[in-house]
Chains A and B, each alone.
Chain A
Amino acid sequence: MIGLQFACEIEGRMNGHAKNMHLKKSMKSIATLLSFLLLMAVHSTRMVGASRNHPCRKTLQRTFKLAKVVQSEASELFIIYKASQGEGSEFLCTAPVNNIPDPNISGLEASERISSIYTHLQSFIPHLKRVYEQQTDLQLPTSPMLPKLLGVSANSRNLALSINDFYHRAFPNLPLPEPAGGPTTLPPPLNVFQQKVYGCMVLKTYKEFTSNVSKEFKSFRGKVCRRRMKTNALF
């Protein structure tokens, strides 16, 4: 501004006739500059907002990927499990078994559904552990199913951690409820066939559950982790 004024003064001294014309031009250019600066400021604020929200989306993305990993591994595990149970394995999963968590996700809001996923996942983990213990007795130590089962269990725990992290980022003011009704109820001691049936049902249900989880997280993309961006946009 000082520069412009100085230029105007000089020009005024030099040529008084063209003074008004130059002033108009100068004012126009200043207005353009101010508009540009305003735009930049708004954009940078948005960027800041976006970057602030970036960890949430990043966590969502990561949790979704991990859910897909668990889903993929659960599917593979179920196939391997059936293959390792010998003859009649196709009939194992037809018998009803109690106390296995529901594979369906409940809740209306995203937060409720995420907490449902979390609690269900937490419920499944002890069942997976029990299946591993039973299958350790039933399978040869070299069976490829056992490490796979361990892997699914470990990744399920990781998924639970990741969902927890994501939930706290997405809904920082909402506490994540722990599984209702206390610790997961595990089945009483079973015979070999019952163990096979139990394992099959657990893995089958878990496969369905992880499939639902993947779908659910896919649906969260674009819905969750946007609130703050909207606030910024309004600003």
Chain B
Amino acid sequence: MGDVSALPLCALLFLACGIHAYSNFQSHLLTLPQNPVIEIGTNFTATCLISNTVEVTADDLYWKLSNVTIPRDQYRKVNSTALSVTVPITKDISEEWLFCYCRKKSSYVVLNEGKFIHGISLRTGYRPEKPENLSCISFQKEDKSFPSLQCSWGTTRRQTPTVPVHFTLKVMQVLSNQTSSTTTKDHWAEVKLSPYPFHMELEVWVEAVNQLGAAESVHLRKEAQHFVKTNPPEVTVTSEKSFPTSLLLNWTPPVNQVCVKLTYQIRFCSPKSPGWSHVPLPDINDQTNFRLQGLRAYTPYTVQVRCRDVENLHGYWSDWSQNITTTTPEDKPSSTPDLWRTVVYNGTSERLVQIICKDPEFPNGRITRFDVKVEKQRDRAWNQSGGWKSVLVNRSEAEEGETSLTLLEQISLSNLESVKVSVVAVNSLGRSPEASLILPVKLPDHARVEELKVWPHEGQLVVEWKPLRNKLLSGYVVEWLSDGRLDWRRVSKTSNRTLTGRLDPFVCYTVSVYPVFSRAIGKPVQMLAYVEQGAPLRGPTLKLNGKPGHNEAELVWEEIPLRDRRGFITNYTVFYKLGEEIREVPVPANSTSLKLESLMGDSQYEAWVQASTAAGSTNGSHHSFITMKYAAGTIEAISLGAGLVILLVFLLGIYKREFLVKRLWPRVPDGRQSSIGTWSPDCSMKAEPPKESCVSGISVLVSMCESQSGFEEDKASLSLRKDKYTSEEHSSGIGGSSCMSSPRQSVSDSDEGADMADTTASTVQYSSVVASSAYKGQTPGSQPQHSVFSRSESTQPLLDSEETVDMFVQEASGRFERLAPQDITCSEVFGPPDGEQLDCCQEADELQADGRTAPSSYMPQLGGYKPQ
């Protein structure tokens, strides 16, 4: 209970203290005016007043604008307790503060510093300007009402955010002095007016107001109906059969005529007209119907109507009404069909003539058929051969509106025949006037148009020529042909220029101008033309003419097909590229080949051709070729030289045969006839077939020499293993000993090293032991054994052929002499140089001659791995 009662007491005490503190905190300075709004461009004067203290005087005061001290010359001492300052306001300094400070530092001032500062915030801005260009409009709504008046105006927008301008749109009914208004910050506003006060005078104006002043626009004073913009009228168009060249328009005014008297504007167009045609305003006035006359029969017309207040010439036109399209009724054709022909001269005495025609300019309906009559001239009179012939026209509705050609007749005429063709177009209501064309025996070439010029203009071609002076001239026919599509236009004889009509861009047209005489058609003058040129669709396809030479190549290309050309080719540019270097050669448009010279021999070139038109260029496909290594004749010269050398060698071989044989195949002594042969106890002195033991030592040497010569197929394997042979590490310790070892025994292949634990990784020691008694034991043990221990440390793989060679040698040692001198180059492959090879053989000879070697038997030792 005590706590509850204490709370309000504390609150009251706190409030009392606060009030006391507030009353105690009374600033001794006061700046006037408070919250000023200052116009930019004026001087602002503020005054600082000292109150309730004698501690300071006006001399102790100073001013600061934000943080900048204002110079004293802008101060004015009003009295001892008031100091004013004048600040020129040249720009928007809104939200800046103007402070009045005291500079005296007495103890009272220092202790009560807050009481000796006073500031005001400044708001600067511009006076509102008079709103200009006030205009008002009242839009009609869907429900036909005019609920409001919208007005807009303009200003220079010179205002600041702190002093904004508010606009008030005021609309006053003059008679009643009743004013409606809307206030906005924008430059437009809307005032509700319900009901809309038709025929009552309204006064409209805008007031621009801010804290610095007000300005008013001019007052618009008009009757209310002059502000309206109505909806467009609702239009109906009626086509009446009895009036094929007119349409009846009726429309409903969008607003009651008693409210706003409207005037109307009508415009119409047909697909063939270039744009809208407007009916003159005085012809319509305030009627609500109108008959369009002088139209083309059987032509769709689109009609639009709009309206505005008739009494206000500067009133607002409504939008145009929606398109109403109605076709005028059908009528019989009122103009002749446009008759023309194409002639193909086939080089014989006959010509193929196609009679073609276009629908009449005024078909006034759907052309259902053409009636054609062909008459041949005999004795200066036209003889009708077959009467009128009907050509039915069957077109879809889509084709109906387009200009379409009809092939009427195809006649094969001799050059001596003259023909007159007559045509009539027929629709459902009647026949057109008759058109005729005379195809004379020979075209008169005495009169051709001259100075034909053709140039493009807005999607069409302008054709101009020098007019002919000929009494019989009845006009001209300008014909343009492209890609089998033909069209033409008849031009009167007084004209010398015409337009072709819209043509396709990038298509080449052959434009011809024919003079037409009363009884004949003259010879044409032709010219090619484009409405618009573009870069070729594709470039020329390049190829080589023949084979490229050592430093030249001839390039040829075909002309781009006309359809892909899309313009006149102005020139070609041939590009050829070697590596990264690209060179180009310009070629005139009439050329389709180029001989490139100064090329590098044995080089690959890439070439392409760029075709250019006035509108751009396109590259053709790339073609690569390689120039010859040798110029023509070089090969022949070399071949001839080589042939001569071979011939010389051959002749030398014939004449120096003995010498060469001696040099190449030195004589090897026959072991059987040597003294060691007779000495060996194991060897029979008889002429026995040689045993392997007897010749084994020699056969090794032979086989070494044979290893290459005899088995050429092993060259491949040799070459594959060449790296091993040439390895120094694997070279045999005893030259040529590899020949003596069996392949299986002597294989020291690192590939197999893992399996062969007993051997070193890179070296296999193998040997052939030639022992006279150790093998067969045929020689008594007392006999000192002479053995040759051939040891080889070679990793070189043993060729399969080696075994074969060994076997072969073993089997056919009798043929030794024949086999021995074969290939001198084997030593180059296997081991020592030629000399050594020869030494090797000599050593063998020597050994045999010394008799120290007694190879009683030769069994290839399996490298010591297999016991024998």
Contact = CB atoms under 8 A, between A and B. Distances in A.
B175 A66 contact: no
A158 B202 CA distance: 12
B258 interface: yes
Interface string A40-83: 00000000000000000000001101101101100000000000
Interface string B175-207: 110000000000000000011011111000000
A155 interface: yes
A211 interface: no
B481 interface: no
Interface string A141-155: 000000100110011
A150 B256 contact: no
A65 B199 contact: yes
Given A69-B256, A162-B175, A151 B195 contact: yes
B62 to A, nearest CB: 66
Given A161-B175, A161-B176, A155 B256 contact: no
B27 to A, nearest CB: 60
B258 A68 contact: yes
Interface string B89-102: 00000000000000
Given A66-B200, A158-B176, A161-B176, A150 B258 contact: no
A61 B521 CA distance: 72
A162 B176 CA distance: 9
Given A158-B175, A162-B175, A72 B197 contact: no
A162 B256 CA distance: 20
A24 to B, nearest CB: 50
A216 interface: no
B12 interface: no
Contacts, number: 46
Contact of A158 (B194, B200, B256, B259): B200
Contacts of A68: 258
B845 interface: no
A66 B195 contact: no
Interface string B195-235: 10111110000000000000000000001000000000000
Contacts of B175: 158, 161-162, 164-165
Given A65-B258, A68-B258, A69-B258, A162 B199 contact: yes
Given A62-B223, A72-B256, A72-B258, A162 B195 contact: no
A66 B256 contact: no
Q: For chain B, what secondary structure do more than half of its interface residues adopt (helix, strand, loop), or is it mixed?
A: loop
A161 to B, nearest CB: 4
Interface residues of A, number: 19
Contact of A66 (B173, B176, B198): B198
A81 B197 CA distance: 22
A147 B194 CA distance: 9
Nearest to B195: A151
Contacts of A164: 175
Contacts of B256: 69, 72
B195 A62 contact: no
A214 B627 CA distance: 109
Interface string B347-368: 0000000000000000000000
A65 B257 CA distance: 10
Nearest to A214: B258
A60 B258 CA distance: 15
Contact of A69 (B194, B198, B201): B198
B253 to A, nearest CB: 13
Given A62-B199, A62-B223, A154-B195, A69 B176 contact: no
A162 B258 contact: no
Nearest to B177: A161
A214 B258 CA distance: 11
B112 to A, nearest CB: 69
Contact of B197 (A71, A147, A158): A158
Contacts of A161: 175-176, 200
A62 B194 CA distance: 19
A193 to B, nearest CB: 29
A71 B201 CA distance: 19
A69 B201 CA distance: 15
A157 to B, nearest CB: 8
A62 B198 CA distance: 9
A71 B223 CA distance: 19
Contacts of A165: 175
Contacts of B258: 65, 68-69, 71-72
A84 B754 CA distance: 119
Of A68, A69, A72, most buried by chain B (CB within 10 Å of CB) is A69
Nearest to A155: B195
A81 B523 CA distance: 84
A72 B257 CA distance: 10
A63 B175 CA distance: 12
Nearest to A154: B195
Contacts of B199: 62-63, 65-66, 69, 158, 162
Interface in A133-190: 147, 150-151, 154-155, 157-158, 161-162, 164-165
Interface string B245-257: 0000000000010
Contacts of A62: 199, 201, 223
A154 B196 CA distance: 9
Nearest to B173: A158
Contacts of B195: 147, 150-151, 154-155
A65 B258 CA distance: 7
A69 B176 CA distance: 18
A1 B198 CA distance: 57
Contacts of A69: 198-199, 256, 258-259
A71 B199 CA distance: 14
Contacts of B176: 157-158, 161
Contacts of B173: 158
Contacts of B223: 62
B200 to A, nearest CB: 5
A107 B195 CA distance: 32
Contacts of B201: 62
Nearest to A61: B199
Interface in B243-277: 256, 258-259
A66 B199 CA distance: 6
A158 B197 CA distance: 8
Contact of B200 (A72, A151, A162): A162
A68 B199 CA distance: 10
18 contacts: A62-B201, A62-B223, A63-B199, A65-B199, A66-B198, A66-B199, A68-B258, A150-B194, A150-B195, A151-B194, A154-B194, A155-B198, A158-B175, A158-B199, A158-B200, A161-B200, A162-B175, A165-B175
Given A155-B198, A158-B173, A162-B200, 6 more contacts: A69-B198, A69-B199, A69-B258, A147-B194, A151-B195, A158-B176
Which 10 residue pairs spanning A and B have beta carbons closest together? A151-B195, A161-B175, A66-B199, A68-B258, A65-B199, A72-B258, A69-B258, A62-B199, A158-B200, A154-B195
Interface of B: 173, 175-176, 194-195, 197-201, 223, 256, 258-259
